Amino acid sequence: MDTRLIVLTAILFMIVGCKDRDIRESYLITDLSNPTTLTFKLKSSNGNAGYRIKGRMNGTLGYSEGLFFEGRKFPSFNTANNLDSLAAPVLRDYVRVSLDSITAESNLSIGQSGLIYGLHFIPGTATKGKIEVEFWERPTGFY
């Protein structure tokens, strides 16, 4: 009888641990004339997280990404009012610039809950468009 109880408990834990528990947050950006910062707080301490960006616009648009803890701000060298105000080394090393359309994905391993994943969109020549952003988190194990 004890063996059956252990086996049933193990099966129950496997079923509970295997269900889809993806955490998702979606955003839509339509005003590209102003900088926009989006954040997503990671809830699990083990798993994967990332983002998907897809959209069209009428010119150039840049974005940078960063991980930081609550209470701290997005790294200041990445947050500019427009692409023209960024120095060339910052543009080259930290900002991705797209023209007329944007498609991007990211995937990273999570090692600590409470981290904040941030995306900062920096206007270039684009003033309007439709950018869809989805943050996602796929925890593993129990959280």
Instruction: Note whether residue 63 is domain-resident.
Output: yes
**Taking Cα atoms as reference points, which of 112, 99, 34, 10 lies closest to residue 61?**
99
Instruction: Note whether residue 31 is domain-resident.
Output: yes
pTM of the model: 0.76
Instruction: Note whether residue 71 is domain-resident.
Output: yes
The CA R_g of the chain, rounded to the nearest whole Å, is: 20
Q: How confident is the model at residue 143 (pLDDT cuts 50, 70, 90)?
A: very low
What is the per-residue pLDDT across 37-92, written as a single tens digit (0 to 9) for each? 898 888 877 788 899 999 999 999 999 888 877 766 666 555 677 787 777 777 77
Structural domain of residue 125, as residue ranges?
21-139
Average pLDDT over residues 2-20: 65
CA dist., res. 91 & res. 69, Å (int): 24
Dihedral angle, C-alpha 129, 63, 60, 52, nearest 10 °: -50
What is the per-residue pLDDT across 90-99, written as a single tens digit (0 to 9) for each? 777 778 888 9
Instruction: Note whether residue 64 is domain-resident.
Output: yes
Instruction: Note whether residue 28 is domain-resident.
Output: yes
* Tally of domains within the chain: 1
Instruction: Note whether residue 118 is domain-resident.
Output: yes
> 19 or 75: which carries more pLDDT confidence?
75
Instruction: Note whether residue 5 is domain-resident.
Output: no
Instruction: Note whether residue 2 is domain-resident.
Output: no
What is the per-residue pLDDT across 105-115, written as a single tens digit (0 to 9) for each? 998 887 777 88
CATH number of domain containing 90: 2.60.120.20
User: What secondary structure letter does DSSP report for 71?
Assistant: T
